[in-house]
Amino acid sequence: MKILGIEFAPLNIPLQRRLQTLAVFQHILSFLFLGFGCLLLCVYLLLFTPYYHFPLACLAWYAYDRKTSARGGRRSDWVRRWKLWEYFRDYFPMRLIKTADLDPKKNYILGIHPHGIFSCSAFLNLSTEATGWSEKFPGTTPHLLVLAGHFKFPIYRDYFMLSGVAEVTKESMNYLLSREEGGHCLGVVIGGAVEALEAHPGKYNLYINKRKGFIKIALNNGAPLVPVFSFGETDLYDQVNNPDGSLLKKLQMFLTKRFGFSPPIFHGRGVFNYTFGIMPYRHPVTTVVGKPIEVEKNSKPSQADIDDLHKKYVDALVDLFETHKREYGVDESQHLNFIG
């Protein structure tokens, strides 16, 4: 039914689909607003209520616990296996495809591509068990690494860490990669916030040319690199056209460099309509985990060593994309475009 050009969802939608929508809606709201909401709540309790002891307790806890996010976080297998995440998975739906085994005695760096608007598939695959990570890669422990700023917000930081996320910092990565028990898989969304500005349906622009920090860390620790590509991630939202050189793109890049997170102007569908809103479109997303690239440990790699491994990684990523693109709906004429 359309009203004023807006196509509304019918009333007789099955309960399963409503639960799927609810699962994704809570995740998007949590990502966008829960952190600042918890911070504002603590400020309100501290300044305007007699319950000031609660935010003070949160502050004391943060001072004591602030390093946990750089030590692998505080995961909960119970939270990772919530039924909620299965509804999240089935909304799109999302799948995880394995192309090679991962040795549980080794620690790995997984390069996640592309970023998309919210990196929905990266979260679902690495921070939940909805797509069967533990069954496909037994003996391994996945960690989605995110900006350290996520762990500055009271309450939210503790909730977020339950899914197994940790900081995407040098300290955090070196700590996990040095664990002798092995099996730690560090998921790094290589393109970061800048790549979110390139998330347009049907386009495959990856911000990777200057991203070599993860290469150096891999060499320092002798950690194999694993390219990972999510087909369909950039089709979940429409983004306002922002070509290079445009005033909008210049402003977005300035804000990204200044504050560390990008401000894409995007829209998907709504909770009760199919035309406009913050909900992603129901579009299939398939994440393909490539073959590990073995890396020889080198505590003092030269720039040539870093460049050589970076090229090897990019070549493997291209091969992964070209091998699987037709199977997952990408036209033969489309290829990866490396920028930045």
- Give the start-to-end residue ranges of the domains of the chain: 13-339
Q: What angle do CA 303, 305, 311 make, to 5 degrees?
A: 100
Q: What is the pLDDT of residues 288-328, one digit of tens each?
A: 999 999 999 999 999 999 999 999 999 999 999 999 999 99
The 3-state DSSP class for residue 205 equals: strand
DSSP letters along 207-249, please? E-TT--HHHHHHHHHTPPEEEEEEETGGGS-EE----TTSHHH
Q: Which of 1-15, 141-155, 262-276 has the lowest mean pLDDT?
A: 1-15
To which H or E segment does residue 105 belong? none
pLDDT for 258 beyond 90: no
Q: Which of 2-6, 63-67, 168-172, 273-277 has the lowest mean pLDDT?
A: 2-6
pLDDT for 3 beyond 80: no
Q: How far apart are CA 198 and CA 113, in angstroms?
A: 12
Residues β-bridged to residue 269:
279
Q: How many helices, marked H, and strands, marked E, lie in the chain?
A: 13, 13
Quick one: tokens of 151? 């762990």
Q: Which of 200-209, 271-280, 308-317 has the lowest mean pLDDT?
A: 271-280
Q: How far apart are CA 29 and CA 208, in angstroms?
A: 29
Cβ(238)–Cβ(268) under 8 Å?
Answer: yes
Q: What is the pLDDT of residues 89-111, one digit of tens each?
A: 999 999 999 999 999 999 999 99
Could you tell me the pLDDT band of residue 1, with boundaries at 50, 70 and 90?
Answer: low
Quick one: tokens of 73? 């976080």
Q: How far apart are CA 228 and CA 117, in angstroms?
A: 17
Rounded to an integer, the average pLDDT of 124-152 is: 97
Quick one: tokens of 55? 């935010």
* DSSP 8-state secondary structure symbol assigned to residue 186: E
Give the contacts of 281 (CB within 8 A, at least 6 positions apart).
235, 236, 237, 268, 269
pLDDT for 257 beyond 90: no
pLDDT for 12 beyond 90: no
Residues β-bridged to residue 186:
109, 143
Residue 308 one-letter amino acid: D
| Tokens 């309790």 -> residue | 45
Q: How far apart are CA 42 and CA 155, in angstroms?
A: 9
* DSSP 8-state secondary structure symbol assigned to residue 33: I
